[in-house]
Copies of this chain bind each other. A is one copy, B any other.
Amino acid sequence: MVKSVDRALRIITLVSQKKDGLGVTEIAEKIELNKSSIFKLLRTLMDHGYIEQDEETKKYRLGYKYIELSSILLESIDLRPQAKPFLKELETLTNEVIHLVVYDQGEAYYIEKLEGNETLRTHSKVGKRVSFHATSVGKVLIAHMDDQEAATILEKNGLPKHTDNTITDKEKLLQELQKIRTQGFGVEIEENEVGITCIAAPIFDHRGDITAGVSISGPSTRLTEPRLEEIKTILIDRCNKISRRLGYTGV
């Protein structure tokens, strides 16, 4: 632990909390360090543009460098590596099949799959396209798009019947989407494939737009109501964490 660096970073955190900035003395009190030491740290941070001093009030606030790096960073974060550790957690906690599905220009794709350890498995392929109306992730994705985009997708793909449970009525689907938005997750019981049940939650990016969804799927015999209830909680929790990793600030 490099002490001066530690202190410098604490200064940054402190300064970032006060939009209008803080004075040297104020910072010195909070960090519990000598004024002159704080001053020197601030100067170093200033030289790098991480902190800047208001010319009039003499107070210190976050600098342009921070903003510069942030925006570049937010644009360049990759979903997959950010999500991976959380997906792994879901895998070990549930022992079911975990899917990461991204939405990109009218299409949804599986980009990650974790198998779980149990023997009875659902079959799926990374890269395969996802049905929007008949899967939990698909429903979650369209539920959080703007209405126009969702309408275009549904228009284009229609509502083909996959099983007896598939929602083929548009009105019913719209109600289902509303439900998904309010409760924060989506469930699908044998709507896509007989014997398979699924639960999914959304991932949002730094602009607040939906970019992906995570689903947990398994045999309906195992994913019964009480089990889904358990899984739901941790699924939503991890999805929120992934969203925050992408810079999402809501919730």
Write the residues of chain A forming the contact surface with B, with a CB cutoff of 8 angstroms.
1-2, 4-6, 8-10, 12-13, 16, 19, 40-41, 43-45, 47-48, 50, 54-55, 62, 64, 66-78, 81, 85, 206-207, 244-249
Contact = CB atoms under 8 A, between A and B. Distances in A.
Contact of A69 (B43, B66, B78, B245): B66
A246 B67 contact: yes
Nearest to A88: B55
Nearest to A205: B71
B66 A73 contact: yes
24 contacts: A1-B44, A1-B47, A2-B4, A2-B43, A4-B5, A6-B44, A8-B9, A9-B48, A13-B48, A16-B69, A16-B72, A16-B73, A19-B76, A62-B73, A67-B70, A67-B73, A67-B77, A67-B206, A67-B246, A68-B244, A68-B247, A70-B70, A70-B71, A74-B74
Contacts of A4: 2, 4-5
State the majority secondary structure of interface residues on A: helix
Give 9 closest A-B pairs by Cβ, nearest first.
A70-B70, A71-B247, A5-B8, A9-B48, A2-B44, A5-B44, A71-B206, A4-B4, A67-B247
